[in-house]
Every structure is written in C-alpha cells, then in structure tokens.
Chains A and B, each alone.
Chain A
C-alpha cells in the first residue's frame, strides 16, 4: 500500500533531519507516529505527499489502479494523481477562512474537476450534497453555510477531516490533528479517525502516548530522524524513554 524506504533529508548546516526513515503500511492500520518536536514526524508526512523534497530514499504509493507512484520523485500530472488519493488532514489553520465550511469541504475533490469548471462555477449540486454527507460524518452538517473563520479550533479540525473524507483517498495522513485541542475535543477527533482506518489506513503524528495506546493499531517512534520503535501501541516505559531520548536514571 505504502512503502517508505530510507528517507534522508539534510538541512543547511549539515544536520540530518531525516536519517533513513523506513516503514510500510498495510490496509486496516491506524499508525501513530510519536516523537519529540523536531524529531522528523511532520517532515516524514510531508515527504510522503511530496510537499518536502528529500535528498535520497523512496516513497512507493500504490494507487487505486494498482499502479505504483514513486511520490518523492514524481512531478506534474503523476504527482497530482498520487496526491488526489492521499488525504492530508492538516491542522485547522490550513482551511481557507474566507470561504464557507461547505466550500472548504468541496475543495477536497478539487483534483478531480477540470480547470474550466473551477473557473466557471466550481462544484455541482451533487457534489455539494455529498460534501454535506461528509460534514454529517463529523457532525457539522448544520455549519455548512457558515464562514469558516467563525469556527472554533476543534470545529475547524473536524472540517479538515470532512474535507479529507470527501476526497475519498486511499490513505489518510493526519499532521498533529489534536495538537492544539483540549482532551475532550482531542478524543472526539480520534473517535472520528479510528473508524476511517478500518477501510483506509491512517497515519497520524501525535504527542500523547496515552491516546495512541487507546486508538492506534501500531506506533512508530521517531527520534532525531530515525525510526527507533515500530510495533505495538502498548509502549513500555523503556520504549518511551527510547523515543523521547530521556536517559534512564541509574539506580545504584
């Protein structure tokens, strides 16, 4: 489904922010990526969609027609075709605040409409109805005609999920979907993501091991650009210390 192999990215100054990240994703998985800030979690997701260029390594994404796209090296139409099938759930501030909630959701299928149509009138009534359906899944259908700027952080995050659902991708990527939310809202978001993962794998980056333990099927720990843990979401203290780089106190 998705194979990420030996991603390397060096920033100015020679520091390796990605240093051989490797993992694969199978259908039905809900993967939580853990790691401290700057460890390379978000960068890994960005590399998967080709938003960040990498120095070396490979991302192989299997599309609906079983063709394999090497995303990290693809350009133009081929890259767009792969991106259409990857639904990225960014943090809420990635919505266009001056458009209505419904328009923000419909933008999810922008990759499928012709340039002429996006010029003339945008989306059809049928697409609008389908988008309302996606909003119903996140329990925001009554917000459809509101200006996105008037929503709270948690509501915007759910709109972002509705956009990704409406996109009907083959893979979801969620970049810190609960980072700026209170625990109750955070739990609500994860309860939305969990059922999605049954049909379409979800990869999310998180800061809260207790949430990944409860909702994810697998955890990948990244530290200083390397995968230091890959396995069950039931992490031990030792595993956590390994991921977050906390030296264990030696008892004499």
Chain B
C-alpha cells in the first residue's frame, strides 16, 4: 500500500551520515586537525587571549588615518566599478549588444566573479606595486563582475514598449539608452551598488593586509610585531568601519526599496 519502510529510511540516513562523516574525517586529516594541536593551542588559550587586553587605547589616534584610507578605498572602488559597469552592462545585454560582443563579455564577467579579490590584488600589485591603487583596481574589477552582470540582466528585462516609444520619437541610439533604458534600471542598480559598497568595505580590510594599506594593514602589522594590545585597537577600528558601512548601506537600501514598493 505504501512505500514507507522504517529500515530503508534508517539506512538512507545512516548512508548519508556515513558519507559526510567519512569525507569530513578525510578532509580534517588532510588539514592536520589533530587533537594534540588543538590541546596545545587551547592550553595557551587563556594566556594568549589575555595578551590582547587591555587594548592599547593610546594607539587609537594612529588608527584614524588607516580607517579613512579603508573607507576611501572602498568608496572609490565602488564608484569606479559603477562607472565601468555601464559600458560592460550594455555590452552584456542581448537587446543592446550584438552576440559577438555579448558572449565574450558575459564569459569575462563570470571569470571576474569566480576569481577572489585577493588573487586579483596579487596581479595588480605586480603591475602597480604595493599600495591603494592595486586595491582600488581589484575591488573595482570585482564590483564590475557583479554590477555589470546585474545591469546586463536588468536591461534584458526592460519593458521594450518604453524603449520603442522613445525610439519612435526619433531618439538616437544613445538617447534611447539614456531615456528609455536607464530610468527603468536605476533603482535596482542603486540598491546593488549600496550592497556592493558594504562588501567592498569588508574586502578592503582584507586586501589592506596583503598590501593595499588601510586598517587591515594595521591589524596584520600589529599581529606580526606581537603588539597584540595594539591589534585589538585596530580590530575595533575595523569593526567600527564594517558596522557603520553595513548600517548605512542597509538603511539606504531599505529606503530605496521601500520607495519602490
């Protein structure tokens, strides 16, 4: 009458569990997850954690500039990414660009999204040397990967009637895009740009640690010099930046989407 079987169900659960556990154990072994490392690490845990306190409050002043650099880095990368994503987005939209242009652009966008920003940074550091410029470029490239795809997708979903009516009024190709396409795409683009800003702030902290400068560099530097109390201050600085960016971006996005609804 029914396919229900308790033993088969138990068996299936056991099988899935066994596969996951086996894979996990194999992976954990490969990653040197050994009890003695764990014990050793935890053994010095309390002392180690204590060495981060009290925070070196006197270093707070030194963190102002790095924090600003991180914010500026993220902002300029978001802006640059936004500007460049316009032509890229147009080239990726099937109702704007011809196939010979669109397909390679789409593939490139996919590549950009797949490669982590840290790897991009390694490339740009080779080209431009250590410093914020390499950071701006890698974050901007990552932003294009996301915003360009979004723009391309959004343009393909644009109401053709609106575009046609603008074109029928005698508009040129660029005027059609400016007055027919963009106004329909802008709200979604603005929301995603804000989201991307949030992501960029987080990433700029990480990139800072591998050569882009800013608060991430301060964290890495303090840790490397075994100045843990100073590192605590730097981490607090990065917390402040990330929290603020998340709050601001979230609030603006909600307002934007609220206005749309």
A and B touch in the complex (CB under 8 A): yes
Give the B-binding residues of A (Cβ under 8 A): 100, 102-103, 120-125, 128-129, 132, 141, 144-145
Asked whether A145 lies within 8 Å of B2 as measured between CB atoms, the reply is yes
Which of A102, A121, A141 has the most chain B CB atoms inside 10 A of its CB? A121
Say which size band chain B's interface belongs to.
Answer: 10 to 19
* Complex interface: chain B residues within 8 A of A129 (CB): 1
B3 interface contact, C-beta 8 A? yes
* Complex interface: chain B residues within 8 A of A128 (CB): 2, 4-6
The digit string for B1-25, where 1 denotes a CB below 8 A from any CB of A, is: 1111111011001000000000000
Task: Give the shortest distance, in Å, between B17 (CB) and chain A (any CB).
Answer: 11
**In the complex, residue of chain B having the shortest beta-carbon distance to the beta carbon of A119:** B13
Task: Give the shortest distance, in Å, between B10 (CB) and chain A (any CB).
Answer: 4
Which of B4, B5, B10 has the most chain A CB atoms inside 10 A of its CB? B4
A100–B7 Cα distance when bound, in Å, is: 17
Task: Give the shortest distance, in Å, between B16 (CB) and chain A (any CB).
Answer: 13
Asked whether A144 lies within 8 Å of B13 as measured between CB atoms, the reply is no
* Complex interface: chain B residues within 8 A of A100 (CB): 4
* Complex interface: chain B residues within 8 A of A120 (CB): 10, 13
Asked whether A145 lies within 8 Å of B6 as measured between CB atoms, the reply is no
**In the complex, residue of chain A having the shortest beta-carbon distance to the beta carbon of B3:** A145
The digit string for B39-77, where 1 denotes a CB below 8 A from any CB of A, is: 000000000000000000000000000000000000000
Task: Give the shortest distance, in Å, between A121 (CB) and chain B (any CB).
Answer: 4
Asked whether B9 lies within 8 Å of A121 as measured between CB atoms, the reply is yes
Asked whether A102 lies within 8 Å of B6 as measured between CB atoms, the reply is no
Asked whether B6 lies within 8 Å of A132 as measured between CB atoms, the reply is no
A121–B15 Cα distance when bound, in Å, is: 13
Asked whether A144 lies within 8 Å of B6 as measured between CB atoms, the reply is no
* Complex interface: chain A residues within 8 A of B6 (CB): 121-125, 128
Task: Give the shortest distance, in Å, between A51 (CB) and chain B (any CB).
Answer: 29
Cβ-neighbour of B1 out of A103, A123, A132 (below 8 A) = A132
**In the complex, residue of chain A having the shortest beta-carbon distance to the beta carbon of B1:** A132
Asked whether B5 lies within 8 Å of A144 as measured between CB atoms, the reply is no
**In the complex, residue of chain B having the shortest beta-carbon distance to the beta carbon of A127:** B6
Cβ-neighbour of A141 out of B1, B7, B9 (below 8 A) = B1
Could you pull out 7 A-B pairs where Cβ atoms are within 8 angstroms?
A103-B4, A123-B4, A125-B4, A128-B2, A129-B1, A144-B1, A145-B2
Task: Give the shortest distance, in Å, between A105 (CB) and chain B (any CB).
Answer: 10
A152–B9 Cα distance when bound, in Å, is: 27
**In the complex, residue of chain B having the shortest beta-carbon distance to the beta carbon of A144:** B2
Asked whether A144 lies within 8 Å of B10 as measured between CB atoms, the reply is no
Task: Give the shortest distance, in Å, between A163 (CB) and chain B (any CB).
Answer: 15
Asked whether A122 lies within 8 Å of B1 as measured between CB atoms, the reply is no
* Complex interface: chain A residues within 8 A of B1 (CB): 129, 132, 141, 144
Task: Give the shortest distance, in Å, between B15 (CB) and chain A (any CB).
Answer: 13
Task: Give the shortest distance, in Å, between A101 (CB) and chain B (any CB).
Answer: 9
Task: Give the shortest distance, in Å, between B107 (CB) and chain A (any CB).
Answer: 38
Task: Give the shortest distance, in Å, between A142 (CB) and chain B (any CB).
Answer: 8
**In the complex, residue of chain A having the shortest beta-carbon distance to the beta carbon of B4:** A128
Task: Give the shortest distance, in Å, between B128 (CB) and chain A (any CB).
Answer: 53
* Complex interface: chain A residues within 8 A of B13 (CB): 120-121
**In the complex, residue of chain B having the shortest beta-carbon distance to the beta carbon of A145:** B3
Which 7 residue pairs of A and B lie closest in terms of their CB atoms, listed nearest first?
A: A121-B10, A144-B2, A128-B4, A132-B1, A145-B3, A124-B6, A121-B6
A124–B4 Cα distance when bound, in Å, is: 9
* Complex interface: chain A residues within 8 A of B10 (CB): 120-121
Asked whether A145 lies within 8 Å of B4 as measured between CB atoms, the reply is yes
A53–B56 Cα distance when bound, in Å, is: 54
* Complex interface: chain B residues within 8 A of A103 (CB): 4
Task: Give the shortest distance, in Å, between A37 (CB) and chain B (any CB).
Answer: 30
Asked whether B2 lies within 8 Å of A102 as measured between CB atoms, the reply is yes
Asked whether A122 lies within 8 Å of B2 as measured between CB atoms, the reply is no
Task: Give the shortest distance, in Å, between B92 (CB) and chain A (any CB).
Answer: 37
